[in-house]
Every structure is written in structure tokens, then in C-alpha cells.
Structure 1
Amino acid sequence: MPAEQIEALIKAALPDATVEMEALVEDNDHWLARVTSDAFSGKSRIQQHKMVFAALGDRMGGELHALQLHTSVPN
């Protein structure tokens, strides 16, 4: 799954999000995503990650094999 598609799915669910994608392996299947959003305010890290995974739906484990997440609230 290309980085642009992952970014678009995340931004569709979290419109204010800033998403930075980094390939962990050059196979379009293993990514690191740094996601910053005001929507994460007051949420635990687990809740933040669940929000991102919900945006990706059933693509996780299928089209997208591995996604490492770093989530944060804007400074």
C-alpha cells in the first residue's frame, strides 16, 4: 500500500492531522507513520493508535502488513 494512500485514509478520518510517512523496508508494506492531530488531545496513546487503525480499517494485516505509529498532539 503506497504511503500516499495511507496518508489519505488517515486524513479522511482526522482532517487536521499532519502525517509523515517513512518506509521501514522498500516494499510498500512496512511503514512508520508520525501522526499529529488535535483529535488526540486528552486521549491515551492506545486510544490515539486505535483512532489511526480505525481510519485504515481492514487494510491492516491485508494490503498493509506492518505500520509502526508515533502519535502526538500539536505543541
Structure 2
Amino acid sequence: MAAPTDTAATEVQNTTGITPDTLAETLRTSDTLKASHVDIQDISGGCGQSFAAMIVSDAFQGKSALQRHRLVNGILKDEIKAIHAWTPRCLTGEQWEKEQAKSQ
């Protein structure tokens, strides 16, 4: 649940220790995921309650979007319980390379 004030939100972040860096590290070091790229953005205005993520892993190969999200959510089960919103975008290495080529 979201904190009712910015002060309360800061308290939540301080007590949970959840930051973009800690989320990214958990995903990068997961033996199940073996992510090749992880970018986590705090989209909550700095209160640490809402995050968006770009996660690239060949473990997503052949999986639906729902299966990919479930894989990531399982790895971040405890962290997700402590935050307000989590929006992952999960791509395979091939999909990521195609996106990068389009943006150049």
C-alpha cells in the first residue's frame, strides 16, 4: 500500500531498503534469470514506492508476457510486497537488440 505522505514514504523506503539499485542487483544476480541488462527507474517521484523496469534475459525465450512477469515477480516476491507499484518490461536479448537498432 502506498504511504499517505512523503515523510511516510521515505520511512517505508528507509525501513525496506528497496531502491532501484537493490532491485536491479537482485535481478542481475538471479541464477534463474541471468539478466543481461536491467534498468530500474523510480517513477514515484523519489518516494521509493513505484518502479518501472526494463529487463533483458534469454530466460524469457518462448515465454508469454504473463510467464515472463511471473518469473520476475517470483524473484522479487518479497520486494514487491513492500512497494506500491511494479511495472516490468521483459525482453529477450534478440528483442532488445532489435529495439536498440530501431532507436539508432
TM bin (shorter chain):
0.7 to 0.9
Q: Which protein is bigger by CA-based radius of gyration?
A: 2
1:18-75 alpha-carbon deviations (Å, 9 max, x no partner): 111112111112110010100000001001001111111222122x221111111112
Q: Work out whether 1:67 is the aligned partner of 2:82.
A: no
* Residue identity (%): 23
Quick check: which one's strand share is greater?
1
Contact 2:38 2:54 in 1 (8 A): yes
Displacement over 2 Å in runs of 4+? none
Tell me the residue number matched to 1:5.
22
Instruction: Choose from 12, 16, 23 the match for 2:35.
Output: 16
Instruction: Name the TM-score, length of structure 2 as normaliser.
Output: 0.65
Q: Work out whether 1:43 is the aligned partner of 2:72.
A: no
Instruction: Name the TM-score, length of structure 1 as normaliser.
Output: 0.87
Gaps (5+ residues) in structure 2? 1-17, 95-104
CA distance in 2 between counterparts of 1:15 and 1:72 reads 13
* Count of residue pairs the alignment pairs up: 74
Between 1 and 2, higher relative CO (CA 8 Å, sep ≥ 6) is seen in 1
Quick check: which one's helix share is greater?
2
Instruction: Choose from 72, 76, 85 the match for 1:52.
Output: 72
